[in-house]
Structure 1
Amino acid sequence: MNLYIRLLLAILRGFFKPPMALTETLQRTLRVWPNDIDINKHMNNGRYMTIVDLFMLELCLRAKILIPAFKLGWKPMLGGNLVVYKKQLSMFEQYTAEFSICCLDESWTYFQYTFFNRAGEVVVTGYSKGAWVGRKGLVANAVIAEKLKVEPTTAPMPEAIRKWLEAEAHVLGKA
């Protein structure tokens, strides 16, 4: 039930909060609820990724690109994650999460996210990559910028993402 409430809140924020540029950082203070924890009595590792999904949804709604993309027949797709879990969050603990678009390549958009505990310590940090998929496969970021009238980030790709992509190529046997 808690996830449906969070989903509804993300959608409502997406429609009623002020618009955002895709280059802005989305920040939210949240709390760990009983259905977020696992048998070890801390926030489940998968729950962090669910929160990241909700951030992506809210950002796409507030940037006014989600509905136009759907009208073009495009669907968002997650392509991978690089996540580091450093500390735990316990039940009812408050935390802050930040989410932003980091950089782009031809078809993929790379996101960076960090979760902080109340002391400001990094709990979880990582990168995800996502793309829009149309009938013919991945939609190029240049096409997205043109069709959705958005200004893509020109930030350079961090070394950590380049190394991640090299490792991914090895895993996929493309190295």
Structure 2
Amino acid sequence: MSRQLHLLLATALPRKRTGRHVLDPSVTRVRVLPTDLDLYLHVNNGTYLQMMDVARSNYIADIGGFPPLKEKAWYPVVAASTMTYRRSLRLGDRVHITTRVLGWDERVVYLEQVFTRRGEQCARGVVAGRFLTRGSGERVPAPAVVARLAGEQIESPELPDEVLRWARAVDVAHRA
């Protein structure tokens, strides 16, 4: 529940670190709380996803994205995600979650979210995010969202092969 409140605050009262570009990374700092732990006393796998939600809201705030998204009534949803865990996070750990855009196709924006503790990678998530229009639920093409957030039309960086293969395997990639 505490991460849901964290997400609500990150979205309703976004942090003031604007001025970054869409392709710039955003760092969110969190501390592992007792409510983040499972019975084995390490962070529950579902909690990683909640922490990633908070970090994505902070990313949107960092690029000044909430006002332009609100003007168009666009909002983000997760179409698919995948996680790789390398090291357990435990109570009290201070963690950095670095969120960055890997690229986009016609349908979705692909983000990487890396969890580090004292400079060591603990987990990595890749998220395929889609944008919808509030009210109608209409899908918004990813290039239109990126252009709105960047303030100009820009080309997607080349997506890593592993991300392209994953996106096709889970059927979120643009279909030619």
- Under TM normalisation by the shorter chain, which class is it? 0.7 to 0.9
Q: Is the 8 A contact 1:23 1:153 kept in 2?
A: no
Paired position in structure 2 for 1:100: 100
C-alpha distance 12-166 of structure 1, shift in aligned 2 (>3 A) = closer
- How far off its partner does 1:82 sit? 1.3
Q: TM-score, normalised by structure 2?
A: 0.83
Matched letter for residue 158 of structure 2: P
Secondary structure, in 3 states, of the residue corresponding to 1:128?
strand
Matched letter for residue 132 of structure 1: F
- More off after superposition, 124-133 vs 135-144: 135-144
Task: Among all aligned residue pairs of Structure 1 and Structure 2, give the percentage whose two residues are the same amino acid.
Answer: 21
Matched letter for residue 141 of structure 1: A
Matched letter for residue 129 of structure 1: A
C-alpha distance 126-68 of structure 1, shift in aligned 2 (>3 A) = same
1:45 aligns with 2:40: no
Q: Is the 8 A contact 1:27 1:99 kept in 2?
A: yes
Paired position in structure 1 for 2:131: 132
Paired position in structure 2 for 1:160: 162
Q: Deviation string for 1:99-134 (max 9, x for gaps)?
A: 11111101200000111122x322111200101112
Paired position in structure 1 for 2:68: 68
What's the C-alpha RMSD, in Å, of the aligned pairs? 2.5
- How far off its partner does 1:49 sit? 1.0
Secondary structure, in 3 states, of the residue corresponding to 2:55?
helix
Secondary structure, in 3 states, of the residue corresponding to 2:90?
coil
Paired position in structure 1 for 2:34: 34
Paired position in structure 2 for 1:123: 122
Paired position in structure 2 for 1:143: 144
Q: Which runs of no fewer than 5 residues in structure 2 stay unpaired? A: none
* Aligned pairs (5 A) from 1:80-91: 80-91=80-91
Distance in 2 between residues matched to 1:150 and 1:51, nearest whole Å: 30
Paired position in structure 2 for 1:58: 58
C-alpha distance 64-164 of structure 1, shift in aligned 2 (>3 A) = same
Distance in 2 between residues matched to 1:116 and 1:22, nearest whole Å: 22
Runs of 4 or more, structure 1, over 6 Å off, are none
C-alpha distance 150-11 of structure 1, shift in aligned 2 (>3 A) = farther
Q: Which runs of no fewer than 5 residues in structure 1 stay unpaired? A: none
Matched letter for residue 167 of structure 1: A
* Aligned pairs (5 A) from 1:1-40: 2-3=2-3, 6-7=6-7, 10-11=10-11, 14-40=14-40
Aligned length: 170
Matched letter for residue 140 of structure 2: V
Distance in 2 between residues matched to 1:146 and 1:43, nearest whole Å: 36
Q: TM-score, normalised by structure 1?
A: 0.83
